Amino acid sequence: MASLLALLQPMRRIILYSIVLGLLLVLMQYVQYRFLFIRRADSVYTGIVAAVCCAAGIWGGWRWNYARRHTPAPELPLNLPNSAGTNTEAVIARLGLTPREVEVLQYLSKGLSNQEIADAMFVSLNTVKTHISNVFSKLDVQRRTQAIQKVKSLGLLSD
């Protein structure tokens, strides 16, 4: 049984959302049964609806989760040799920048605010702050304007 739980571990959030969605819809059915015109709905019908909605919840939860982590590159072009002659990926590797940090850096160097970056990346403002803070320390700068300068001088990103 422990192995089963371990197997279900990565899907915990999906399952949670599914259950919540299912229960919510069961509640809706109940309310409809109690107060609206479909008075003859029996428990079987309710159960079927609940099952369908639960499935929908699973699908939706999976979709949501998948979209969050498998929507990698924005339309920002980069990678491969860059304008400064150096190899972009080599520079990134040398600085120890993670993919997410590079992504934040791209948006940042385009002049976006933290909130706008958060919206674009489907994460919270705090997460963006964390990424940016890490980027700053890795680039050895204090402000975003300095980060832009650094990025330009390093030939990172598209200019």
CB of 38 to DNA, least distance (A): 38
Out of 22, 92, 118, 144, the only residue in the binding site for a copy of itself (CB under 8 A) is: 144
SS (H, E, C) 58-110: HHHHHHHHHHHHCCCCCCCCCCCECCCCCEHHHHHHHHCCCHHHHHHHHHHHC
Q: Which is nearer to a copy of itself, 14 or 132 (CB)?
A: 132
3-class secondary structure per residue, 111-132: CCCHHHHHHHHCCCHHHHHHHH
Q: Which does 152 bind (CB under 5 to 8 A by kind): a copy of itself, DNA, none?
A: a copy of itself
Answer for which of 54, 123, 141, 154 binds a copy of itself (CB under 8 A) is 141
Residue with smaller CB distance to DNA, 84 or 152? 152
Binding window for a copy of itself (CB under 8 A); candidates: 33-41, 84-92, 93-101, 106-114:
106-114
Q: Do 128 and 104 form a contact (C-beta atoms < 8 A)?
A: yes
Angle 16-31-57 from CA coordinates, rounded to 5°: 25
Give residues 113-132 in contact with a copy of itself (rule: CB under 8 A). Answer: 113
Strand boundaries in the chain, DSSP class E: none
Residue 81 is classified by DSSP as B
Which residues contribute to the site for DNA (CB under 7 A)?
2-3, 6, 9-10, 12-13, 68-69, 96, 98-101, 113-115, 121, 123-127, 129-133, 136, 142-145
